[in-house]
Chain A
């Protein structure tokens, strides 16, 4: 699981940092595997290493659809925030042929367990008249800090079906509001009625075992106890796929999902 603090999410180079972080953690783990977990190292490592994890990438085949350019002319403030053309984030294929913004999560296998709600809030920002991130995971009961970094009026209209829907007006630059989801849902949609191109998807789960594929198409679900799980990958346009995975504590299970252009 990629955990990053809200400040990071709100920062300009969020994608960059996220990527580097994953690289680093992968770098630490690789020599560990080589050493076959010597008793000494076992002693030194924190307990979570014993838990299993699922890692992998979201592959994409076929010709990706032509990115859809967004015209922000309707709101001059939005338009003035972008020099380069802006494209819709519905389908983002990375340079390495992987698919971004895929929500990967443990669909079943955790029913018997209960999880504490994280104290720190998840975050989503309205910045440059789009949502950052575009796809986000959150636990039920966990706070979601919604921020407006733009000097224009946004409204966050949650179309959640399982939780109480809300529609918040956010007219002031820099203002933050906090909301929670009561029940799990794949996926709760956010939209901005003022700027109809703006939307985001929130995966609400009652456990923390989820991940979103980033700019390298990779995902990682960690801290999983050994067992059989059904893992599902959800994409806004290409729907869902699921796989059954057996997690052991020995080493991470590698799972690949393949989405195809339609």
Chain B
């Protein structure tokens, strides 16, 4: 069309542009729709359908092969014979069917006749009533006649109809009985196939179809798609989006489709079943999916639906590379709540499980906590919730009585050079203080610390061994009295609670060691080392043995000389922090050499925070020197100083690096000696660093509603207080208790458990320290209280000794409660009374004699048989044991304590002595118990006399 002169634009061109724009818009729209439709999760869901179908087919096949083919075959045969039987009587059956058809016709007729008459009847009745009411007698009489006439006909019709109905019912019953056998077999066969059919149905549901493609198609997929986002809305948990709180929504199950379903354990991710359905996700587990969700534990962005945006975190570099390749994954730099890498997942447990010493099923976190305690982390770092911990290093307030200057200096130079297993970290001559100048400064500082410690120390009176000890005898006592219940020595390392018993000859003098062994609290009132109540002789022998071992190399190491310049330089460094250069110099000039050492020593102790682990005079009020770690697990990564160290910018990488090499972040930095990083080097293994990192990551303060947390009731709190004390004093070093096998017990029972015999007594369970599982139900609280305060001998044949711990009143009560509550006992400091009758006691005495109880339960004075099979003196029973426990114990000791040497005398509630108390085992048991409550030590001889 030619352009008309009045038009300012070309219609032709406009049309073309309009067409182009339309096409572009349509294409864009299609692309938008496509992009919106094409989501990562849909691919996963489609893949899962395939996987599920594969699984279903496999299951079906398995089920098919499991079907009892023989039974099925039998059923088929039965069915065939039933069919045969049926066929034989077919003519009869057909006749019945024909009869039934005929009768049905009759029934229809009869029914119709009846209905017809009924209508007439009702109609006549209506008019009769109507006319009567209006007084039209004539008409009324006419209808009355008709009514009466039809009434009898109706009766006949009804009778006829009912007769036919009955006949039909009879025929039906006969037809049914013809078919009943066949029906029963068919039903059973159906049941056989029911499960299979269910699976087949499900398989069919999952089959791809055109309809499914249509309902999942773009623009229509809002109606009822088969692929859809799955989500859990957690009503009690919230997410904080700065100023706005929203309910937490976890959409992880959109792709992790089988995470809460068993049967996908070997499926590839994201479809794998959660490895611990007993603990997590399933409805009857303690952490159901609907209540806890996923991100509370795993972290990450619960609402996101793509692999990257959900903030998945790789476990290691290999996985990171694999993810980058496979999923185009990249780190979400700005997202705070990334998922925890799996190796640290236990860190999340602490969010809800507070106030407990150990969190069940979280071994790595528990290990991390235990390490933090063991290596004294809480000495320098405040961590709220862990304030009730104890100092881990020895008390140095009387150090002058124990150590000399040279030893202290050598030790501080490198503690591990003296004892490789020591927990004392190295504080000097580390990576950032390794230059010649820094080494000289450190040497001055070490000399200073030694000076300060010795000067600010009291002396305690020490006793020398009264006899020259024999090392051989000492070795025996060290091995047999209980030292190994806490200490490592030689090849025996079942416990590492106390320091390893090596090289003591290079460290201490005999008078100190002797006095220490006799009473550790004399030298150090706050030591955790208990008193084994050693005789003078035992202590002397042990002293001789322990002092034999020397570390020659350590003894020969050269003590570096400290130049006056280095000392002055170090002192000036401290002085100028508080005063001007000139004033500092003045002050320094006024100091004697010894004073200078003391001064730098004090300042260095303050700088290094030695008092975090050791009690040191003059630092009673000093503040912890380390960063508070209460919220370390949620500290912004930006606030962690990575320096010039090329590691991943994550919290856990930083923690791990810091733990492995605490001074590394000074690398490449220019700093004064005083400004340098000062965390000492502990020499953690990779495993330990990982456990500690998990612990650090667990240190978060989060708003989890109270009702969502694991709440401890009063009893549980008491149990936890006891557990802390038990771990502090290492009760489980000897005793089996609270789910932990007594650690020294493995030395005794090596052969029983498949190892080789040791010098500690072979397989003899009776020589092991007692098992304390069930102790709360076993002993009276009042007895336990006194026993803990002042242990008495119960098993004189045991060489291991229950030490005296010098518990405070509070500690004793805490332990009594711990034992009682562990066994769900009520605490009562009154002994339970047992009412005894003379006749029962006499029967008990007879049983006691006949059962030869005394053969093992001998009194202290009368032991004649060898030690391995002795049992406690029963004269103690009434003071020590709970009456109800004795009954249960006598019924079957193995039930209360597996492996005990105490046999049952009443197997399967029978007794070998039918003549006593009518042969009633229960009454006999009670009689023995009653007798024990009247039992006097003198009776040992009497009963013994009676038995032989």
Partners in one complex: yes
Binding site for B on A (CB under 8 A): 74-77, 152-153, 155-157, 159, 165-172, 175, 177, 193-196
Min Cβ gap A139→B in Å is 21
New contact pairs (7) apart from A155-B903, A196-B869, CB-CB < 8 Å:
A153-B856, A157-B903, A166-B907, A167-B893, A172-B912, A193-B901, A195-B869
Q: When the two chains form the complex, which single residue of A167, A172, A196 contacts B903, counting CB atoms closer than 8 Å? A: A167
Residues of the B chain whose Cβ atoms lie less than 8 Å from the Cβ of A196 = 764, 866, 868-869
Asked if residues A153 and B869 are in contact (CB atoms below 8 Å), the reply is no
Residues of the A chain whose Cβ atoms lie less than 8 Å from the Cβ of B900 = 167
Asked if residues A194 and B869 are in contact (CB atoms below 8 Å), the reply is yes
Please, what's the 1-or-0 string for B899-940, where 1 marks a CB less than 8 Å from any CB in chain A? 111111101000011000000000000000000000000000
Min Cβ gap A241→B in Å is 19
Asked if residues A169 and B764 are in contact (CB atoms below 8 Å), the reply is no
Asked if residues B902 and A152 are in contact (CB atoms below 8 Å), the reply is no
Known: A77-B948, A159-B752. A168 touches B865 (CB 8 A): no
Residues of the A chain whose Cβ atoms lie less than 8 Å from the Cβ of B902 = 167
Min Cβ gap B927→A in Å is 15
Asked if residues A194 and B913 are in contact (CB atoms below 8 Å), the reply is no
B850 in contact (CB, < 8 A)? yes
Asked if residues A165 and B868 are in contact (CB atoms below 8 Å), the reply is no
Asked if residues B898 and A165 are in contact (CB atoms below 8 Å), the reply is yes
Asked if residues A167 and B865 are in contact (CB atoms below 8 Å), the reply is no
Residues of the B chain whose Cβ atoms lie less than 8 Å from the Cβ of A152 = 852, 855
Complex: A168 Cα to B911 Cα, angstroms: 12
Complex: A165 Cα to B892 Cα, angstroms: 12
Q: When the two chains form the complex, which single residue of A153, A166, A175, A195 contacts B852, counting CB atoms closer than 8 Å? A: A153
The count of chain B contact residues (Cβ–Cβ below 8 Å) is 27
Q: When the two chains form the complex, which single residue of A75, A77, A167, A171 contacts B912, counting CB atoms closer than 8 Å? A: A171
B825 in contact (CB, < 8 A)? no
B230 in contact (CB, < 8 A)? no
Residues of the A chain whose Cβ atoms lie less than 8 Å from the Cβ of B913 = 172
If over half of B's interface residues share one DSSP class (helix, strand or loop), that class is named, otherwise mixed; here it is loop
Q: Give B900's nearest chain A residue, CB to CB.
A: A167
Residues of the B chain whose Cβ atoms lie less than 8 Å from the Cβ of A169 = 851, 903-905
Asked if residues A75 and B852 are in contact (CB atoms below 8 Å), the reply is no
Min Cβ gap A217→B in Å is 27
Residues of the A chain whose Cβ atoms lie less than 8 Å from the Cβ of B905 = 169, 171
Complex: A12 Cα to B14 Cα, angstroms: 125
Asked if residues A168 and B866 are in contact (CB atoms below 8 Å), the reply is no
Asked if residues B899 and A165 are in contact (CB atoms below 8 Å), the reply is yes
Min Cβ gap B850→A in Å is 6
A-B contact count (CB 8 A): 65
Q: Give B766's nearest chain A residue, CB to CB.
A: A193
Min Cβ gap B436→A in Å is 62
* In the A-B complex, the 10 residue pairs with the closest CB atoms: A169-B903, A155-B903, A153-B852, A193-B901, A74-B865, A169-B905, A167-B903, A171-B851, A193-B869, A175-B912
Known: A159-B752, A167-B901, A193-B869. A177 touches B907 (CB 8 A): yes
Min Cβ gap A154→B in Å is 9
Q: Give A151's nearest chain B residue, CB to CB.
A: B948
Q: Which of B860-907 contact A (CB under 8 A)?
A: 864-866, 868-869, 893-894, 898-905, 907
Q: Which of A159, A171, A194, A195 has most B Cβ within 10 Å?
A: A171
Complex: A13 Cα to B894 Cα, angstroms: 36
Residues of the B chain whose Cβ atoms lie less than 8 Å from the Cβ of A172 = 850, 912-913
Asked if residues A167 and B894 are in contact (CB atoms below 8 Å), the reply is yes
Residues of the B chain whose Cβ atoms lie less than 8 Å from the Cβ of A194 = 855-856, 869
Min Cβ gap A176→B in Å is 9
A-B contact pairs, 9 of them (CB 8 A): A166-B907, A167-B903, A172-B913, A193-B868, A193-B901, A193-B903, A194-B855, A194-B856, A196-B868
Residues of the B chain whose Cβ atoms lie less than 8 Å from the Cβ of A175 = 912
Please, what's the 1-or-0 string for B34-56, where 1 marks a CB less than 8 Å from any CB in chain A? 00000000000000000000000
Min Cβ gap A123→B in Å is 17
Residues of the B chain whose Cβ atoms lie less than 8 Å from the Cβ of A177 = 907
Asked if residues B894 and A165 are in contact (CB atoms below 8 Å), the reply is yes
Please, what's the 1-or-0 string for B825-850, where 1 marks a CB less than 8 Å from any CB in chain A? 00000000000000000000000001
Complex: A157 Cα to B856 Cα, angstroms: 15
Known: A77-B948, A172-B913, A194-B869. A153 touches B766 (CB 8 A): no
Residues of the A chain whose Cβ atoms lie less than 8 Å from the Cβ of B904 = 166-169
Residues of the A chain whose Cβ atoms lie less than 8 Å from the Cβ of B856 = 153, 193-194
Complex: A156 Cα to B855 Cα, angstroms: 15
Residues of the A chain whose Cβ atoms lie less than 8 Å from the Cβ of B855 = 75, 152-153, 194
Known: A75-B865, A177-B907, A193-B766. A171 touches B893 (CB 8 A): no
Asked if residues B903 and A156 are in contact (CB atoms below 8 Å), the reply is yes
Min Cβ gap A157→B in Å is 7
Residues of the B chain whose Cβ atoms lie less than 8 Å from the Cβ of A77 = 948
Complex: A52 Cα to B785 Cα, angstroms: 69
Residues of the B chain whose Cβ atoms lie less than 8 Å from the Cβ of A165 = 894, 898-899
Min Cβ gap B832→A in Å is 26
Min Cβ gap A23→B in Å is 39
Q: Which of A153, A165, A172 has most B Cβ within 10 Å?
A: A153
Asked if residues A171 and B907 are in contact (CB atoms below 8 Å), the reply is no
Min Cβ gap B193→A in Å is 30
Residues of the B chain whose Cβ atoms lie less than 8 Å from the Cβ of A74 = 864-866
Q: Give A166's nearest chain B residue, CB to CB.
A: B894
Min Cβ gap B910→A in Å is 9
